[in-house]
Amino acid sequence: MPHVISDECISCGSCESDCPVGAISEGDGKYVIDPDLCIDCGSCVDACPMDAISEE
């Protein structure tokens, strides 16, 4: 199940650089995860300082 980023995101970009498949990109006001690219590895969850990423 792909991960999602909540509105708690502060757009710091920590998760983007940790994603091994490039599924995370800067969106409008927060980062977003492309569900078609996400491999559900969880590395973004560990990288997020705001705990804004969870399973959908």
Over the stretch 8-40, which tens digit does the pLDDT of each residue have? 999 999 999 999 999 999 999 999 999 999 999
Q: What are the angstrom distances between the C-alpha of 17 and each of 24, 31, 37, 47?
A: 8, 12, 15, 9
CA atoms of 5 and 48, how far apart (whole Å): 10
Position 56 scores a pLDDT of: 81
Domain count across the chain: 1
- Give the domain range for residue 38: 3-55
Position 39 scores a pLDDT of: 95
Residue 13: which CATH number? 3.30.70.20
E-assigned strand segments in 2-49: 3-5, 24-26, 31-33
Position 13 scores a pLDDT of: 95
Position 1 scores a pLDDT of: 79
Residue 6 pLDDT > 90: yes
